[in-house]
Structure 1
């Protein structure tokens, strides 16, 4: 049996000072730190780290399993989740998926943001997009060939195009393992 899931997330962007944290996309911080992406002046306004790719993937997995959405499992008013690394949400979604005898068949991510640019290299010459795919592969225990990350701008239209927000859509398939 194959199941299909769709996930979506959007977060506001603001100055790093007002947001209180850098932008994190698929576990890659846009703060110029070693092994991550080049520094970017804006931050993500969110209760957790605001990782739109991880949040969208989690929602797609939960949706494919016909389970409650990410907001039900990880409410944005839970003080324990303040500033939380969204990889914990990914780990929980993975556990729930495996417990129901499923694995990722294919995962297609569309990140929509005017900036920061993700088709770039960091200071070590590593592809930022490839780092994102590697993080997804590690957390989902899925071959990297089954994971795609695309990035689009919003052509300077609305809040995303004006760098006031970042959003993501994910479509994935789950395959039965048993």
Structure 2
């Protein structure tokens, strides 16, 4: 069994007139986060951590901000694509730890709901998701939200049954079916972004 770690970072400025979405939750606040998509700083950081753990690029190489398809997009789409990538690479999430840095709103009162929502999006138990919040004291970042994310992956152990299924498959289509069964076969990725040569370091700010 092999292990991999990934680290992700993102930041977005606050902006009036847009909803505030963090970790897939809509929050009551007088400002939201500016971005080409929904500005979900936490899901963006987690997405980059997952992609980085399997050397798959970054969020900008899958969903470039120049592409109008991702205007105001739900960042859960980005996260699901990263989950597909780690599954195709033969890994699964062991646990994830995150830090939010923002002056307001206060995360403490909703931290349980936030952890539950992120766990649902990652198909994990809440006990496998860490979410901490800090204020940006002395950093002159009172009008910015910052997120850091670290993820630990482990390789998927292929069962004898799956090995037999693959060995007995008589065509590429049947083998692809086995692979899809491993990762759940939940998503049609033909409409998703990707896969331009090289890395685009631009984020979605």
Per the TM superposition, whether the score is higher than 0.5 is yes
Asked if 1:24 is matched to 2:21, the reply is yes
Partner Cα separation in structure 1 for residue 83 and residue 56 of structure 2: 13
Match of 1:165 in 2: 144
Partner Cα separation in structure 1 for residue 89 and residue 117 of structure 2: 23
Residues 114, 156 of structure 1: 8 Å contact kept: no
Match of 2:64 in 1: 75
Match of 1:125 in 2: none
How many positions carry a matched residue from both structures? 156
Deviation at 1:152, TM superposition (A): 0.3
Deviation at 1:136, TM superposition (A): 1.6
Cα distance per residue 1:35-58 (max 9 Å; x no partner): xxxx21111110000111100000
Which stretches of structure 1, 4 residues or longer, exceed 6 Å deviation after superposition? none
Unaligned 5+ residue runs, structure 2?
A: 158-205
Match of 1:41 in 2: 30
Residues 56, 85 of structure 2: 8 Å contact kept: no
Q: Larger Rg: 1 or 2?
A: 2
Match of 2:6 in 1: 5
Match of 1:88 in 2: 77
Which secondary structure state, in structure 2, belongs to the residue aligned with residue 135 of structure 1?
A: helix
TM-score where L is the length of structure 1: 0.84
Deviation at 1:96, TM superposition (A): 1.1
Partner Cα separation in structure 2 for residue 91 and residue 109 of structure 1: 18
Which secondary structure state, in structure 2, belongs to the residue aligned with residue 12 of structure 1?
A: strand
Residues 7, 56 of structure 1: 8 Å contact kept: yes
Match of 2:42 in 1: 53
Residues 47, 78 of structure 2: 8 Å contact kept: yes
TM-score where L is the length of structure 2: 0.73
Deviation at 1:157, TM superposition (A): 3.0
Asked if 1:100 is matched to 2:89, the reply is yes
Unaligned 5+ residue runs, structure 1?
A: 31-38, 121-127
Asked if 1:146 is matched to 2:135, the reply is no
